[in-house]
Structure 1
Amino acid sequence: MNPSIPGDSAIGWLRWAAIAAGVATLGLMLPLVWTAVLAGAGLLVLVLLLGLAAAVVQALPWLGQRLENALLSRRKAEARRNPIEQLQNELLRRAERLVAFREALVTVGGQVESIAQMLSERRERDPAHVMERHQRALDRLQQFHRLNIARLQQAQAALDDFRMLIERKESEWRIALAIDDASSLLDPRSADALLQDLLTDTALRTVQERFNSVFAELDVQMSSLDAPTRQLLEPTGRTPFAPLELHADAGAGSVR
C-alpha cells in the first residue's frame, strides 16, 4: 500500500504554527523591548518587530500556496505510480462481504431444512392437519435460498474474474511504468498515455461492469426489508456498494 499523503489540513497547521511562533517570538523579545524602552530606543525596536510580524503575515498565503502545490504534486505522482490501488482495496472489501453473504445463506439453508423436517414430521403424525400457510412460507424461503445461492455463485465467479484481471493489469502497469521511467526524457507525456490506455481498456470495463451488476443485485436481494438474511447481515456494518470506476484526474491520473 502507498503511504498516506497529508491533505489540505497541513496548510492550516502551517498557518497556526506560524502564528504561534510569532506570538512566542514576541513573548521572548518583550524583555528586550522593555530594556530598549528604558534605554530610549524602544520605538525603533517596536517598529522593527511590527515590520517583521507584517512580513510573516504577508508570507503566509504564499507559503500555504507553495505547500498546497507540493501536496497536489505528490498526490498526482502517487496516483500515477499505482492507478488501480483503489480497485484492489474495493476487491478486498467485496470479498469480505461475499463471505458474510455465504455465511448468512448457510444459516438460512439450515433453517429451511429444519422447517421442512418439522412440517414433514407433523404431517406424519396428523395427516388431517392443514399446513398450507406454513408450506407456502417454506416455499418462499426455499425459493429465496435457491435464487441467492445462484447469485452467490455468480458473484464469486465475477470476483475471481475481476481479481485475475486486476493482477494482469497491475503487472502490465508495472512493466509499462518501468519502460516509461526509462524513456521519460524522450517523451514526458508517455505516462499519461499509459494511464489512458488502462482507463479505456475494454476488457477491464466489461469485467468491471459485470462485477458491479452482480454484486449490486446480490446486495439488494440479501439486504431487502423482507429478506430472511437482513438481520444476519446487519452486524457486519453493511454499506451499499457504489459502482466501481476508474477516473483520470488533472492529467496525472487518480482512482476513485
Structure 2
Amino acid sequence: MSAEWPRGDLEKAIGHRFSDSALLERALTHSSLISGIGSNERLEFLGDRVLGLGVAELLYQRFPDEEEGPLARRFAAVVSQPALADVARLLNLGRHLNLARSEEDGGGRDNPALLSDACEALIAALYLDGGMEVALTFVRRLWAPLIDADLSPPKDAKTALQEWAQGRGKSLPQYREVGRDGPSHAPVFTMEACVEGLGQARANGTSKRAAEQAAAVLLLNQTEDL
C-alpha cells in the first residue's frame, strides 16, 4: 500500500530535492509490495556501502588518536539496525513507506528492520540522484550527533559478557567450536558461548572471533531478563 504523505515534506527533512523521483519511490518501496528489482533491496545493498564510507570518515576524523579496535566498535554501533531505525524515525520515514497491507497491519511503519532497510536505500538513492557528496553530506548531518552522543567507545560483546560474569561472581565465559561448514577457503564457523547462570548460545561467523562475538551478544541479551 502506497503512503499518501506529501513527498515534499520528506525531501525537506532529507535536505535534497530529487531530480529522479522514481529513485525516491523505489527507496521507500518494501519487497512485500513489489518483489524483485522494483523494491528497495538493491538500493539497500548500495546504501549500506555508502553509509559505511561516510561513517568511517566521520570516525577517522573525530577520533584521530584512537586505534582500529575502538574505531571498529564505534562503527558497528552507529551503523547497526537500531541506529538506522532511529535516523529513519527522525525523518518520519515510516509514514512514507510503500508497504503491502499485511505489513502495514503488522506495524511495519515502525518496524526497526523495515525502517533501517529503507534508510540505507534512501542513502543509495541520494548517491545515485545527487552524487557522492550529497549522500555523504546527509550521512554527516544525521550520524554526527549519534557519534557525539557517547564519546566513550562501546565495549565488544565478549568483554561486556566477561565483566557481567565477573561482577556477579560467576565463572568466566567459555567458548568452543561446535561446527564448521563451507569450503576450506571460506569456512563458516559455529561457536558456542557458555556462562554459569545464563546457559549457552550458538552463533555463526566467517571467523571464530566473529562467531564468538555473535554468541556473546545472544547471551548478553539474556542478561536483560535477570
Structure with the largest fraction of helix: 1
Same fold flag (TM > 0.5) = no
How does the TM-score come out when normalised to structure 2? 0.23
| Structure number, greater radius of gyration | 1
Structure with the largest fraction of strand: 2
How does the TM-score come out when normalised to structure 1? 0.21
